[in-house]
Copies of this chain bind each other. A is one copy, B any other.
């Protein structure tokens, strides 16, 4: 039954040879790698506004333009830097790989922890924002955002990824282009209305500013929030191998296309927000307000909302392509549990996919699907991993013998410094608004990585067999000692008969033991035993304190003292396999208790022998 359900939901197992090595054309690659980056215009400009409205009056709009331009500049720097990463790492890699190759363990682990936070937040933020887009269009859904989020997460994204659908599927290409088309149309229509309309292009009130140090702090926070639009810019540099030849050139061209479209859409939306004086609302996104003002509530409006939703859910999907492989690399390096490195029956890293889904689900529940609060946590991890990757690149170029004034080095150094400054800005301006969570999470995660690594190291050392020093022609002798088999019984029954039969097959020295809580009961069982006469000694232990487990353990400890060092004691506990689950509650769990108590004894094995009840 479970297997059938599994087949239905996940599909039949795939053979090792079915691993895909398809190459992508540029236009497909653009759609696949950039949904994360492009979709962030759906919440990025709004996040800036959310902070700026704290400045009195509509003065807020006076700063939106400048902050947007700063983000555009930052985007240019990050883009150029990542083109360098693409050039230097044609094998793909990401911050962790760059850092472990060039900067050592600690920066690599910081990058890994940042990426872990980043990817899980990408899933949580993108799904929440996608749901926000559809809730803006259909306000009656506002009560159900968290259930919708979780449904999309577990029943669409997780299942699709467990099935291991190829990321190149054309289905994944359409929404991105549909979204780009919609947003560009919105910007053009809005721009046309602006130029032909009565109102000034930028209302005078939007240009007023009022300076104070409090305002500066708000501006920095707004900038920090806006930086969340830049997540996903690094995606192409991680996927260089998937481009057609010439790989690096194609990746470069696609990166520039992506950043240009992102920049254009970002600045266009920011301009329209300024022009139309859009204010953030609880249940309606800024993009939805824009579309409604420009198009009216017609099919174009719904087109914008639905493509926005789709591209955001698609952006969440990119994290499913990103984190599980990273976890598998971490598992291979010993920093994460081994099973995260195993490809499932559908060739996807199923354990990593489930882990990502669960963590993202917990984030959505903990923050009640509230995009704003999730984004507060977001940007710092992204920029931390940018900084580490760029710094790693500087070291990489220098190792390659490239001079310190070479453009390669300069570009990455500028990238590292700028993104490093952004990390500081975000860390300070948003410290009390969520950044502290990430700043605690990263060291905690590194501690976990190191603990796991040290456990695996300890284990490898303990498990090591010195094979190198062995002579294959000589059989390594495995000396088998005696096996004393102890079968605790409460009364002669057919289950005892069956257990004794198995006992006979695994050892010649079989002892049946009865713990009698009372002399009379002990006598009676002994008599029944004589009557049955199974040819096996019955040892009766009296337990006037009515303890069952303790006298047995004492008896086994006695036996253990007498046996040879290579001998074993096996305790066989009959266990009823009941037909109905609740019947289990009617039988005591002595097997489990004994197992737990005896597990520390050397050469003592507790084995439960199933007895199948027919009804």
Contacts and interface: CB of A to CB of B under 8 A. Distances in A.
Interface in A474-527: 474-483, 492-497, 500-502, 504-507, 517-518
Contacts of A492: 465, 467
Contacts of A473: 533
A9 interface: no
B534 A614 contact: no
Contacts of A533: 470, 472-476
A404 interface: no
B535 A458 contact: no
A166 interface: no
A338 B586 CA distance: 7
Interface stretch (A104-112, A339-347, A405-413, A415-423): A339-347
Contacts of A586: 337-338, 452, 455-456
A494 to B, nearest CB: 5
B534 A343 contact: no
A299 interface: no
B613 A535 contact: no
B605 A609 contact: yes
A463 B491 CA distance: 10
Interface stretch (A190-198, A229-237, A435-443, A543-551): A543-551
**Looking at chain A, what size class is its interface with the partner chain?**
35 or more
Contacts of A15: 544-545
A531 interface: yes
Contacts of A478: 497, 500-501, 504, 534-536
Contacts of A475: 533-535
A612 B602 contact: yes
B493 A463 contact: yes
A459 interface: yes
Contacts of A399: none
A204 to B, nearest CB: 57
A505 to B, nearest CB: 4
Nearest to A459: B613
28 contacts: A13-B546, A17-B544, A337-B585, A339-B588, A344-B546, A452-B586, A455-B578, A458-B613, A458-B615, A459-B613, A463-B493, A465-B496, A465-B497, A470-B531, A472-B531, A473-B533, A474-B533, A476-B534, A477-B535, A478-B500, A478-B501, A478-B534, A478-B536, A479-B504, A480-B501, A482-B505, A483-B506, A506-B568
Given A16-B518, A479-B504, 19 more contacts: A16-B545, A337-B587, A338-B588, A343-B546, A455-B578, A459-B613, A463-B493, A463-B495, A464-B493, A472-B530, A472-B531, A472-B532, A476-B533, A478-B500, A480-B505, A577-B599, A577-B600, A600-B612, A605-B609
Interface of A: 13-17, 337-339, 342-345, 347, 452, 455-456, 458-459, 462-465, 467, 470, 472-483, 492-497, 500-502, 504-507, 517-518, 528, 530-536, 544-547, 566-568, 570, 576-578, 580, 583, 585-588, 599-600, 602-603, 605, 607, 609-610, 612-615
